[in-house]
Structure 1
Amino acid sequence: MVKKIVSRIIVILTLSLLGVATVSQPSAAATQGQLLDAKAGIAVDASSGQILYQQNAKQVLPIGSMTKMVLIYLTLQAIKEGKLTWNTEVPVDQLAYRLTQDKDLTNVPLEENGHYTVGSLYQAALVASANSAAVLLGNAVAGSQTGAVNQMRTLLKRWGIEDAKIVNTSGLNNSYLGDDRYPNSASTAENEMSAADVAIVAQHLMADYPEVLETTKQRSLPFQVKSGTTTTMKTWNAMLPGESAAVSDLPVDGLKTGTTDLAGECFAGTVSKNGNRIITVVMHANQAEKDKNARFTETAKLMHEVFNTQTKQTWLPKGAQVNQLKTLAVPNGKNTAVKIGTKQALTFWAPTAATSNQIKLSYQLTKAAAKKQLTVPVKAQQKVGTATVQSNNYLPGYSVPKVTLVTQTSVAKATFGQQVSRFFQNIF
């Protein structure tokens, strides 16, 4: 049975007079269970990296052509930096031509000694999952396959991914590359990452280059083999609307499949629904021999689990007063107290039926605020602390959402008459 997304939560308030005050109210925890008939899987919020479901998500496994997302990121980065253009022509080398002749591999036909634009190779790598196109993109980005692998490794480490094993640009098993494989890599090695790692790659790709979805949502695209000869590339993503594994209430528009003998059937998917986009990763769907759409069946199951049990909600609207900290004293001010509120809205996923007193938030106050009083003059929108959801259910390298707590109005120093009046009031 699938475990519930989150257990009930109690609220604990702790105020410290040592300069830091916290209110501890833990947020929704990601589901961990055996929902998926697959070796591993994960679902995350595409904008924040909040983990919404995970199953064996940290185990490093073969990823097949999901590898190409890393290479596609480097390609888009090189174009943005002016190192490449969509019209840059890339010559076909011996490795790419040899791979494109192998009918067991996903590819587009390439002319021996031909030249193809970066734009056409980009589309071929994403839509047709063409391995030869990935090889040529690697050459374009870094000058060689070795250089491209090195750049891919560097990029992943920059994103905090330390456990990835990258040995080629395409995701193929090295046995297909022969002597062209990465120096000192095993002859049967292939690229490996965890489901969480793949989700990080997908999140960065879509966050930095959202235009990638304009290509991944295409069911088919033309590919010009040579002048006067064009073939039609068809997507491997059977969840796209109109394809065999499409689900009417899940308008999937990406992202990348992956398949090798070791990786099995894998899929990094994404869908936007009710104004919220999530990323899912399913690795090695177990029923692939019986069901050609097994990875998509498991992906739909995961997407439905998230949207049917959780919603992205605003728990502290902009300007909202915090129940545990509505005002702070201003002893020497014209007004002796000032209202406290949020500078931004605090939004995150939680169980659909959750109430505000079941959600764990944490407040950290400045030293003055922790002493429950401010000195004059107090400025409007003066920072007095922060509020955040208390959770560790975020991808590594992603920050838990945090908002600033500020004063709602300014407070000037009390007049001499006000100070005298308060003095005698305190005496009598």
Structure 2
Amino acid sequence: MSNIVIVDDRSINRTIYAKLAQSIGPGIEVRDFGDPTDALEWLALNRADLIITDHDMPQIDGDEFITRFRAMPRAETVPVMMITVNDQRMLRLRALESGANDFLHSPVDHCEFVMRARNLLKLAHAVEARAEAAPQREAAPVARLDAHRAQRPVAANWRFAPRLDLMTGRVAGAQLLRDGFGAEFADAEALRLLLDAITPLQAGRRGPVRLSLDVRLDGDVEKSAAVALAKTLAETGVAPHWLDLRFDAAEIFVAPELAEEEARALKNLGVGVTLNLGPVNLGVLGRDIGKTGRLAAPIEHFIDTLKPTVAFSCPASASDALRVLRLLGRGARFPLVAGDVANAALLRLLRRVGVREAQGPCFGAPFAARDLSNLFPPAETGALKLLA
């Protein structure tokens, strides 16, 4: 059962939104309120899985409503979507500061309403399920990771997936993989392996390259991760610009403030920050994206504030890849990295439309850690043959 709360002072809007919400699927319970105060009283005693609120209301506007709701216990992970006729940047920023996760413009497109609401519900349920399955917060993160590794039947399979700079032909970096998946920054073994791999490269002046780890916003990673990393870098002598930490876009929907706090601290340290969109899904990431090329509000705010590199999964066909690139602004608004590139024929297209780097199976199988020095030869001989 999923509880969707609708707050709007106009009854016709509440009726329309309630019918749209119920069409999402079975097990949807809708509560609608014309007075935000009544909604807050209900929310103080009941759990919502998604809140949809208008902005312009006479009693309490949408910003104030969200602010009051976010102050309630256990309200921080409930997604809130605001509906407004106003498209001014300052309004969106105020709403984001209040705790909004996404926006829709009135008059509402019915299909977009259903897709966005469905995906926000999926994200909310995924976060809730992960929280329920997680160990107690009192357990130290390193201890939990050690316990997890102790349960593995075999040693981890570490690999590096290279990234090619499409402008110069040089290998620009690599992502550390553990058992075929992106290795995580919170994994002490992964971080140690990465720093150990960087040390000889740095000593041999084989840069500049960036080695990547994933950042997970599960609430268990210390908010002062940059401080701990600064100490580790000082101890190992590794320069921070060798590291690239990748934030997952789907998790930014759930915890935008935590994501920005973590990313800002790491970037101030000198570490590279990448926003990973994954497969470009219009229902999750789009906000009038087909018309304006703009992504959903929390993602746009993260990009505007942190100026990260933006990674995405490249479709296998040239036509689908072109469509995604047009939606993302063809590389004009932020540096783009194409992942999962399946064939070399796509590289010329990606370079032509402004994609900076590419990564994927077209470059062969990921390298073992022992071969990393061969993956990054000295700068004067490191260029691969440029694409025609």
Q: Give the shorter-chain TM-score range.
A: under 0.3
TM-score normalised by length of structure 2: 0.25
The structure in which a higher percent of residues are strand is 1
Higher relative contact order structure (alpha carbons within 8 Å, sequence separation ≥ 6) = 1
Query: Could you say which structure has the higher helix fraction?
Result: 2
Bigger Cα Rg: 1
